[in-house]
Amino acid sequence: MARFGRSLWRRGTILALAVLAALLWAPPGRAAERLPIFDTHVHYSRDVWETFPPAAILEKLDQAGVPSALVSSTPDTGTLALHQAAPKRVAPFLRPYRKPGDMADWFRDPEVVAYLSERLDLGRHVGIGEFHLMDLAEAGTPEMRAVIGLAVARGLFLHVHSGASKIAALFEIEPELKIVWAHAGMGAPPEIIGPLLDRYDTLWTELSFRAEDVAQGPDIEPDWRALLLRHPDRFMIGTDTYTLDRWEAYWALVEQQRTWVSQLPPEAARAIAYGNAVRLFGAGKAEFWP
């Protein structure tokens, strides 16, 4: 995964330079028309804190034209530190991971539910996740069912990194769930994503790591364009800053997403760039958005 992140960093940097050149040669006023982005997949975990304290992270968001972000971290301390620094800009989500190794078996750890309940009692988080479900059986463990119960009882979103079958399994357990599907399944094509969005009204998805699928060349792929325009109220933008090098390349990652979404009709582009996330999570609704 780290190798994949470094590869994307290199591709994103090249794209960012091309975009910057385009902005410099654009007609006057073009740069001012850049869409603001609500980044719905930000991590601010322990390995980043020393290099980029909260003030430096907020500066990066400003430079990239990102007024608000959905933030989670391992441990949760990072999320709350960033939220404290800018409460109107951060939508805090709570990961079940207290340390990186928890990713492997958190869905079978009886202490996870108590941990989540205690942290949620702080009253700051609007969702649980991002968390990973790699196998279908993981979606139905007693611990996972308890997490589902917490989410529904408290009206919280789940931010789920999984394949399509696990998303369907979660909704089978509890149809009232509100799910943000990380990366639209990472590799799922439009013909898989579309029927899930058709079937589940409370499923949304963010497209971190998917820019090169959505637009493999300079233009949005036809099947992706059709899907985005069929469900413009269900897609959002994300970067997934899970490593230090992705924070170092943050401007490029945002610009990579902004480039393709700006090709859509204005109403759809605004919805996907920020409108859907503002409606769902409310961060900075009155102050930061057109």
Distance, CA of 44 to CA of 159 (rounded, Å): 15
- pLDDT confidence tier of residue 100, bands split at 50, 70 and 90: confident
Partner residues linked to 69 by β-bridges: 39, 90
DSSP labels for 171-216? HHH-TT-EEEEGGGGSS--HHHHHHHHHH-TTEEEE-TT-HHHH-S
Task: With cut-offs at 50, 70 and 90, classify the pLDDT of residue 176.
Answer: very high
Q: What does pTM read for this prediction?
A: 0.90
CATH number of 2-22+36-281: 3.20.20.140
Strands 157-162, 38-43: pairing is: unpaired
Residue 29 confidence (pLDDT): 35
Residue 288 pLDDT grade (very low, low, confident, very high; cuts 50, 70, 90): confident
Task: Determine the pLDDT at residue 129.
Answer: 98
Decide if 168 contacts 140 (C-beta within 8 A): no
By percentage, how much of the chain surpasses pLDDT 70?
89
pLDDT average, residue stretch 208-225: 96
Residue 26 has pLDDT above 80, yes or no: no
> pLDDT for 74-94, tens place per residue?
999 999 999 999 999 999 999
* Residues β-bridged to residue 128: 94, 158
Asked whether the beta carbons of 91 and 71 are under 8 A apart, the reply is: yes
- Cβ atoms of 218 and 251 within 8 Å: the answer is no
Q: Is the pLDDT of residue 24 over 60?
A: no
- For residue 209, name the pLDDT band (cuts at 50, 70, 90): very high
* pLDDT, mean of residues 25-30: 36
